[in-house]
Structure 1
Amino acid sequence: MTNYYDVDDILAEEELVPAVFQKTANGVGIFDCCDDTNKVGAGTEVEMPFWLACDLYVKQAVKIKVPSCFDTKIGDKTIGPFLLVAFRTRYKEVLIKAYTAASTVAIKQLPLLTQEEMKLYEAGQSSIMAFKKWRMGGPRLQKASVLGRKRKPTE
């Protein structure tokens, strides 16, 4: 089912998932902390590691429920396009501020940026600085260093 050496697979299998026991099980009282006996009755809902829930599901001992993080809001088809528009708009705003903002305005806005936006802002700042440096001075045409080293053939 998984790659033995893949860290993501290991972490995914340690994730707790809700499951409902279909049969009474002895020796698994650790899952039901409310009961002093060492058994879990049929119909009891508990959380268990994903790897164990999969094995018990194959043996038809439990029924795995969908975790609460995957409710109907996650399946909403309109969220994807909305987030794409929001990301594009924010991307444009960060670049515009990087190119045009005065230093005092930029200092106020920096704590509000995420790490990704901070990298984008810094890339925009370095880009505009390099452009200004190129625009203000320096030779327009530069000769490649390899061109000066060639020898003319002697006849």
Structure 2
Amino acid sequence: MKYLRPLTPNYFSIDDIFATQERLPCKFLVPVHRLGFLDPSSENEDLAEGTSLELPLWLPRSLTAQRRHLVTIDIPKVFKEAYREILKADASVVDLHKLSIYFYDFGIYLSKMGHRESAAIAATLTQTFKERFRQVMDWAHNSGTDPTVAQGLDNLERILFQEGHATRVQLDAWLNDGSRKITAADMVINHKKRKRAALDDL
């Protein structure tokens, strides 16, 4: 199975790089020198205290890991209470790909950043995955499934769908191949030979 990487920072993972590029609304608590270029609406060389920007997740994640937090973060709309309620009502009908291509990866990072809604986000991720996983596997194992259903899946779900479908194809090929005869493994055959030889010596 291709999706073996842990859901922790991975410098060499392309998926991890893309997931941490998702934007977070942030507000600077202190003035920051020589970072004015981050604010396209400002011509100042420095960022002023109180400046609000949307930054890629990896940056505020680093800035909030300091003993003194340099920024506060806000929850992006895809994880706000209104969207969490929609997912809670019926997660199976939601187009996660439109909400966020890396919905689960992004959400896991966000749930570990110490925000007051972190626990609620983590609970939503778990519930959403549990509700959608069976449907994803049903689609993957049904040969008549329209391939376009994968368009509404996030990156993790697409990988699971592709792996599930490939497994189903392999199983069907094995079941339909009636010319092959199931044989015992070499280890089992050798064990039987040794056992038979031991009995002959008695």
Structure 1, gaps ≥5 residues long:
98-108
Residues 138 and 14 of structure 1: is their aligned pair in 2 closer, same or farther, counting only changes over 3 Å?
closer
Structure 2, gaps ≥5 residues long:
1-7, 92-127, 151-160
1:53 and 2:99 matched: no
Residue from 63, 87, 90 that aligns with 2:139: 90
Cα distance, 1:127 vs structure 2: 3.0
Question: In the alignment, is the contact (CA less than 8 A) between 1:19 and 1:46 conserved in 2?
Answer: yes
Residue from 60, 76, 80 that aligns with 1:67: 76
Cα distance, 1:138 vs structure 2: 8.6
Q: Whole-Å Cα distance in 2 between the matches of residues 115 and 88 of structure 1?
A: 10
TM-score (normalizing by structure 1): 0.54
**Pairs within 5 Å for 1:2-151:** 7=10, 11=16, 15=21, 16-48=23-55, 49-55=59-65, 58-71=67-80, 72-74=82-84, 76-77=87-88, 78-79=90-91, 80=128, 82-91=131-140, 93-94=142-143, 115-130=162-177, 132-133=178-179, 144=189, 146-148=191-193, 150=197
Cα distance, 1:54 vs structure 2: 0.8
Deviation per CA, 1:79-104, whole angstroms, max 9, x where unpaired?
1364245235325524xx6xxxxxxx
RMSD between superposed Cα atoms in Å: 4.3
Alignment length (residue pairs): 130
TM-score (normalizing by structure 2): 0.45
Paired letter, 1:153: D
Percentage of pairs with the same residue: 12
Task: Give SS of 2:175's match.
Answer: helix
Residues 111 and 145 of structure 1: is their aligned pair in 2 closer, same or farther, counting only changes over 3 Å?
same
